[in-house]
């Protein structure tokens, strides 16, 4: 990550005096791109296509207006290489983490380890609705942290539909799916690689994997418990009290065979071992010997993807096909857009506005930044928001050290804002897809009416938590 | 793969892991009504006791001869007013003069569809009865086109088998129907025909296989002393069942006749009971 920042600096050192009109023009382009991303479903265009168009337009405009510093890129050691101006604009550290992690997850999920865990917990719940909600809720958080929030929602949401149908409790399906959707974004806060905003902000801020986990875990535990209890209250999900009902429910869920989706017990155990090792390597990445730590987390992710791919070496192309290329192309385009916005002084302009908020002090300022980030990411993609805010904070390193509360305001806000509306995050979109697949009547407004209270409580807890960490000196400006 | 496809893939995976565990029940058969035409009821009872030794604990034998009813309604009313656990009868009751060949006769038809009581159909017809084998029935075949979850059918099969005998659990997927679906798939460019055919076929047979496996386990732990055998495959129902009956010298065939969607007898059961007149059948 550090070397990429070095590359990035090589292209951004020269700061031009940019006319206000040009900055305003680029700011309009930025707003238009964010609006287009928010209307992704309506305009029937993939994220990468939308951002690609804007990245191209920004590059052309910035070149014509002479905003970009063309020239050779200086590498460590003084060597220079010729490289198109948009290549070093991309944060390849982030791209390699996402590529490596998604390939790793894709292969290990073939071992059936995640479905095995989900079915085992279903059986352990005995079919009791409240125990089932607790199991699925905790599993959603864990899967969101280990995999990503979309895959977590797909796995747990699918199993919820099947198991509640089996238990003849489809009346509870809506409540389960909404709670699970809301917990994906809480789980996405658990580790540095659990969500893209974490990867971007944590990478730029220089927050380590363990450091991130230690700060995030108390909040995740508390917010998960609060969400589950609210879900119990809001949707009337109660445990079974009648012995006959308990026996019948236990008998129904005992019919699931957790080993069905395990194609090979050897690969199953191999996947568990590699998964543990992967997490251990990420956690200890900064302690890797012989300078290996300099290769970064992206290298760790790609290495582990390579190791597990060896199990399917004759069909690796299938896994390459499964990679979300739209997401990766979206990031590449987004980094190019943000880089041109930086040269057009748009980020500096927004930074001035943010300084006003932050100027209110580490407590009120951090709290307001968190709420503002949450509101902004509820109506549009949280990735551009996180990338932009992180870039703005990065440009003022004197004020924003690695453990400054503002980074955490952006991380919490960008993740939790996704819970306010059904389009706020990719996992709530998946939750809505499953809800509609089961023909449950829930509109956009209906979702907001239900989810707003949950999101409000989660955001209040986050604000209080960040303030407590600031007051206790764990987070410092 | 888009999100909907991914959701669908995981739902399929979880549905695939659903098992229907077999539940064994020792079904009580304490009262039997033997409905005959002009045939001697006593001789039928005696033959039955020899053929099905495990119904030896029947304490209530009722004889319903041709003098006891003159219409279907009368027979049904009589059975309804004094229910029994098993009915025994023959094809073409009271229709000897019609010499029918391609039906079961109105009485048997109505008995199987209007009562919930299992009906044991003796071989032959009322006009030309075929005597029951003199040896105890040691090979029972349970047939179904959807055996998974049919606990009652299997429990009756087990109930009728002599101690130490064999019960064959058979599930034949009709390949004509399967071909019809495959030919539809062949016309859908979005679906790759060969893997779809293979996957569909293996899944259809796997469900039956899994349930039969569960029967093996349960009966081994809690059931009576019978040996379970199985036959799961694809083919033409009648041809396959006839082959299996001959191949394994089956003494009694057990099949479902009721169909929730219609008043008439289930298609496969009807064709089996019309065509296989030489084999005793228990129709549920």
Span of A90-94, B94-98, B159-163 with lowest mean pLDDT: B94-98
Residue of chain A nearest B13, judged by CA positions: A261
pLDDT score, position A98: 85
Residues of B with CB under 8 A from a CB of A: 1, 3-4, 6-7, 10-11, 13-21
Closest to B230 measured CA to CA, from B203, B201, B206: B206
Task: Compute the mean pLDDT over every residue in chain A, rounded to the nearest whole number.
Answer: 87
This complex has an ipTM of: 0.76
pLDDT score, position B94: 82
Residue A220 lies in a domain: no
Interface contacts A/B by beta carbons within 8 Å = 57
Residue A272 lies in a domain: yes
Q: What tokens does A388 get? A: 């932009």
- Pairwise CA distance, residues A237 & A134, whole Å: 10
pLDDT score, position A9: 39
Higher model confidence: residue A231 or residue A13?
A231
A271: distance to nearest CA of chain B, Å? 19
Q: Are A37 and A30 within 8 A, CB to CB? A: no
Residue A247 lies in a domain: no
Q: Which of B13, B151, B202, B210 to mutate to test the interface with A (most CBs of A within 10 A)?
A: B13
How does pLDDT run across B180-199, given as a tens digit for each residue? 999 999 999 989 999 999 99
pLDDT score, position A12: 42
State which of A14-23, A414-423, B38-47 shows the largest mean pLDDT.
A414-423
3-class secondary structure, B281 = strand
How does pLDDT run across A194-218, given as a tens digit for each residue? 888 898 898 888 888 889 999 999 9
Residue A105 lies in a domain: yes
- Which residue in B3, B4, B15 is closest to A162 by CB distance? B15
Given a cut of 70, whether residue A16 has pLDDT beyond it is no
Decide if B18 and A162 are in contact by the 8 Å CB cutoff.
yes
Q: Which of B1, B2, B10 to mutate to test the interface with A (most CBs of A within 10 A)?
A: B10
Span of A189-203, A309-323, A403-417, B33-47 with lowest mean pLDDT: B33-47
Decide if A437 and B14 are in contact by the 8 Å CB cutoff.
no
Closest to A141 measured CA to CA, from A198, A180, A174: A180
Domain that holds residue A281: 99-109+266-323
Residue A273 lies in a domain: yes
How does pLDDT run across B117-127, given as a tens digit for each residue? 999 999 988 88
3-class secondary structure, B38 = coil
Task: Compute the mean pLDDT over every residue in chain B, rounded to the nearest whole number.
Answer: 87
Higher model confidence: residue A327 or residue B97?
A327
For chain A, how many structural domains are there in total? Answer: 1
Residue A290 lies in a domain: yes
Decide if A256 and B19 are in contact by the 8 Å CB cutoff.
yes
How does pLDDT run across B98-112, given as a tens digit for each residue? 766 677 888 888 888
Q: Give the pLDDT mean for B32-52.
A: 85
Q: Are A48 and A330 within 8 A, CB to CB? A: yes
Where does residue B279 rank: exposed (0-12), middle (13-18), buried (19+ CB within 10 A)?
Answer: buried
Q: Which of B2, B4, B7 to mutate to test the interface with A (most CBs of A within 10 A)?
A: B7
| Check whether domain B31-177+189-283 has CATH 3.40.50.12370, yes or no | yes
Residue of chain B nearest A318, judged by CA positions: B1
pLDDT score, position A370: 92
- Contacts of A17 by beta carbon, 8 Å cutoff, 6+ apart: none
A159: distance to nearest CA of chain B, Å? 6
C-alpha radius of gyration, chain B, whole number: 21
Q: Which residue has the tokens 């969607």?
A: B261
pLDDT score, position A382: 78
Contacts of B20 in chain A (CB under 8 A): 255
Decide if B11 and A163 are in contact by the 8 Å CB cutoff.
no
Decide if B14 and A163 are in contact by the 8 Å CB cutoff.
yes
Closest to A129 measured CA to CA, from A164, A156, A162, A154: A164
Given a cut of 50, whether residue A11 has pLDDT beyond it is no
The residues with which B142 forms a beta bridge, in sequence order, are B169, B254
Given a cut of 70, whether residue A86 has pLDDT beyond it is yes
pLDDT score, position A3: 38
Decide if A155 and B20 are in contact by the 8 Å CB cutoff.
no
Q: What percent of chain B has pLDDT over 90?
A: 36
Higher model confidence: residue B177 or residue A147?
B177
Q: Give the pLDDT mean for A98-120.
A: 89
How does pLDDT run across B62-89, given as a tens digit for each residue? 888 888 888 889 888 988 888 899 999 9
**Considering Cα of A77, then A80, then A84, then A86, what sign does the dihedral take?**
positive
Given a cut of 90, whether residue A401 has pLDDT beyond it is no
Contacts of B18 in chain A (CB under 8 A): 162, 166, 255-257
Higher model confidence: residue A349 or residue A144?
A144
A162: distance to nearest CA of chain B, Å? 7
Decide if B19 and A119 are in contact by the 8 Å CB cutoff.
no
- Which residue in A154, A257, A260 is closest to B10 by CB distance? A154
Decide if A255 and B3 are in contact by the 8 Å CB cutoff.
no
Q: Where are the domains of chain B?
A: 31-177+189-283
- Pairwise CA distance, residues A377 & A421, whole Å: 9
pLDDT score, position A13: 45
- Which residue in A260, A429, A430 is closest to B17 by CB distance? A260
Residue of chain B nearest A155, judged by CA positions: B10
Span of A300-314, A320-334, A348-362, B135-149 with lowest mean pLDDT: A348-362
Q: Give the pLDDT mean for A379-390.
A: 78
Q: Give the pLDDT mean for A337-358.
A: 83
pLDDT score, position B189: 92
**Considering Cα of A440, then B11, then A254, then A266, what sign does the dihedral take?**
negative
Given a cut of 70, whether residue A400 has pLDDT beyond it is no
How does pLDDT run across A131-178, given as a tens digit for each residue? 999 999 999 999 999 888 888 999 999 999 999 998 999 999 999 999
B12: distance to nearest CA of chain A, Å? 9
Residue A294 lies in a domain: yes
pLDDT score, position A273: 94
Contacts of B149 in chain A (CB under 8 A): none
Given a cut of 90, whether residue B13 has pLDDT beyond it is no
Closest to A441 measured CA to CA, from A127, A173, A84, A82: A173
Q: CA-CA distances (angstroms) from residue A76 to A87, A264, A403, A417? A: 17, 47, 27, 39
Contacts of A430 in chain B (CB under 8 A): 3, 7
Residues of A with CB under 8 A from a CB of B: 115, 118-119, 150, 154-155, 157-159, 161-163, 166, 254-258, 260-261, 322, 429-430, 433-434, 437
Decide if B18 and A254 are in contact by the 8 Å CB cutoff.
no
Q: CA-CA distances (angstroms) from residue B126 to A279, B93, B95? A: 77, 5, 8
Band (pLDDT 50/70/90 cuts) for residue A397 is low
């Amino acid at each position: 990550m550090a070397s990429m920042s070095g590359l990035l600096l090589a292209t951004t050192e020269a700061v031009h005096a940019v006319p206000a009109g040009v900055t305003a023009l680029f700011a309009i382009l930025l707003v238009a791109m964010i609006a287009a991303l928010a209307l992704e479903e309506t305009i029937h265009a993939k994220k990468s296509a939308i951002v690609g168009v804007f990245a191209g337009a920004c590059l052309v405009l910035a070149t014509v207006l002479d905003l970009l510093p063309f020239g050779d890129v200086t590498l460590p050691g003084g060597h220079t290489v010729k490289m198109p101006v948009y290549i070093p604009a991309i944060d390849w550290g982030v791209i390699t983490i996402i590529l490596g992690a998604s390939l790793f997850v894709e292969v290990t999920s073939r071992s059936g380890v995640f479905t095995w865990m989900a079915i085992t917990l279903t059986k352990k719940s005995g079919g009791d609705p409240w125990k089932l909600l607790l199991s699925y809720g905790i599993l959603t958080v864990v899967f969101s942290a280990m995999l990503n929030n979309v895959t977590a929602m797909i796995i747990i949401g699918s199993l919820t539909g099947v198991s509640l149908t089996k238990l003849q409790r489809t009346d509870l399906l809506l409540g389960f799916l909404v709670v699970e959707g809301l917990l994906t974004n809480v789980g996405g806060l658990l580790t540095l690689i659990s969500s893209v905003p974490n990867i971007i902000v944590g990478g730029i801020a220089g927050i380590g994997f363990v450091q991130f986990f230690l700060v995030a875990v108390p909040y995740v535990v508390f917010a998960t418990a609060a969400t589950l209890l609210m879900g119990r209250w809001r949707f009337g999900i109660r445990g079974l009290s009648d012995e006959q009902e308990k026996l019948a429910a236990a008998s129904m869920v005992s019919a699931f065979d957790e080993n069905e989706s395990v194609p090979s017990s050897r690969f199953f155990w191999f996947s568990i071992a590699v998964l543990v090792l992967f997490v251990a390597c990420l956690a200890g990445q900064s302690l890797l010997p012989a300078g290996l730590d300099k290769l970064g987390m992206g290298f760790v992710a790609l290495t582990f993807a390579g190791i597990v791919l060896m199990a399917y070496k004759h069909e690796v192309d299938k896994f390459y096909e499964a990679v979300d290329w739209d997401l990766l192309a979206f990031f590449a385009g987004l980094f190019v857009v943000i880089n041109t916005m930086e040269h057009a002084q748009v980020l500096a302009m927004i930074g001035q506005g943010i300084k006003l908020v932050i100027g209110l002090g580490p407590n009120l300022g951090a709290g307001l930044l968190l709420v503002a980030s949450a509101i902004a990411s509820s109506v549009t993609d949280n990735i551009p928001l996180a990338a932009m805010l992180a870039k703005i904070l990065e440009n003022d390193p004197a004020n924003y050290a690695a453990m400054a509360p503002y980074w955490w305001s952006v991380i919490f806000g960008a993740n939790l804002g996704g819970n306010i509306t059904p389009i706020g995050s990719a996992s709530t979109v998946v939750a809505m897809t499953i809800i509609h697949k089961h023909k449950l009547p829930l509109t956009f407004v209906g979702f907001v009416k239900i989810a707003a209270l949950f999101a409000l409580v989660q955001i209040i807890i986050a604000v209080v938590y960040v303030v407590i960490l600031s007051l206790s000196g764990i987070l410092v400006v | 793969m888009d999100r909907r496809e991914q959701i669908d893939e995981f739902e399929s995976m979880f549905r695939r892991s659903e098992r229907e565990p077999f539940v064994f029940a020792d079904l009580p058969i304490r009262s039997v009504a033997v409905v005959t035409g002009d045939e001697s009821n006593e001789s039928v009872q005696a033959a039955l006791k020899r053929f099905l030794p495990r119904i030896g604990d029947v304490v209530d034998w009722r004889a319903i001869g041709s003098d006891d009813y003159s219409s279907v309604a009368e027979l049904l009313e009589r059975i309804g007013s004094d229910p029994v656990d098993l009915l025994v009868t023959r094809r073409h009751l009271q229709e000897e003069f019609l010499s029918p060949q391609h039906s079961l006769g109105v009485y048997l038809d109505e008995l199987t569809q209007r009562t919930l009581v299992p009906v044991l159909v003796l071989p032959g017809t009322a006009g030309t009865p075929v005597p029951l084998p003199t040896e105890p029935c040691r090979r029972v075949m349970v047939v179904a086109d959807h055996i998974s979850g049919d606990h009652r059918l299997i429990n009756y099969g087990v109930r009728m088998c002599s101690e130490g005998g064999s019960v064959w659990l058979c599930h034949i997927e009709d390949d004509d129907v399967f071909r019809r679906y495959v030919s539809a798939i062949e016309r859908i460019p979005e679906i790759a025909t060969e893997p779809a055919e293979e996957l569909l076929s293996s899944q259809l047979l796997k469900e039956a296989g899994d349930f039969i496996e569960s029967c093996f386990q349960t009966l081994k732990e809690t059931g009576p002393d019978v040996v379970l055998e199985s036959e799961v495959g694809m083919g033409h129902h009648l041809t396959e069942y006839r082959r299996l009956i001959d191949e394994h010298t089956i003494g009694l065939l057990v099949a479902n006749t009721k169909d929730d969607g219609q008043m008439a007898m289930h298609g496969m059961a009807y064709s089996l009971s019309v065509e296989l007149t030489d084999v005793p059948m228990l129709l549920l």
